[in-house]
Amino acid sequence: MGRIARDRISPEMTCAGLFAESRRGNKEALQIVNEGIESLGLSLANLVTLLNPEYIVIGGGVSKEGGAPLLRELQKYIDQYLSLPLYNDVKLVRAKLDPESGIWGVYSLLQDFRED
């Protein structure tokens, strides 16, 4: 969403700025956010179809800025795109660790890999 917002609204636009603009009623920002959420919802529905997870943890700047409304919208799109036989009541939750925790997790895995 950030890249699209920088292309369509302002080269300095951040994810936080995009969500703030959408909350202020900026129609372009709102459209970008809605398109991004729908695209992410479709991607998550595909993930559920392939992996059948019990939980999906949403982290990073988008989850921080979008909060609970983001999770509700994502859930709506997951429900829309999933076929009923595959639907497993997957639960969306926000990450509780800081946004850089994913980077540290990858770092840890790479250290383990180097030691082998």
Average pLDDT over residues 102-111: 79
Chain CA centroid to CA 62, Å? 6
Distance of CA 42 to the CA centre of its chain: 11
pLDDT in tens, 32-68: 999 999 999 999 999 998 888 888 988 877 777 788 8
User: Please, are residues 94 and 59 in contact by the beta-carbon 8 Å criterion?
Assistant: yes
The percent of residues above 90 in pLDDT, for the chain, comes to 34
As a whole number of Å, the CA-based R_g of the chain is 16
Q: How far is CA 96 from CA 43, 71, 99, 112, in A?
A: 22, 14, 9, 24
- Which domains does the chain carry? 2-115 (3.30.420.40)
Report the predicted TM-score, pTM, of the whole model to 2 decimal places.
0.76
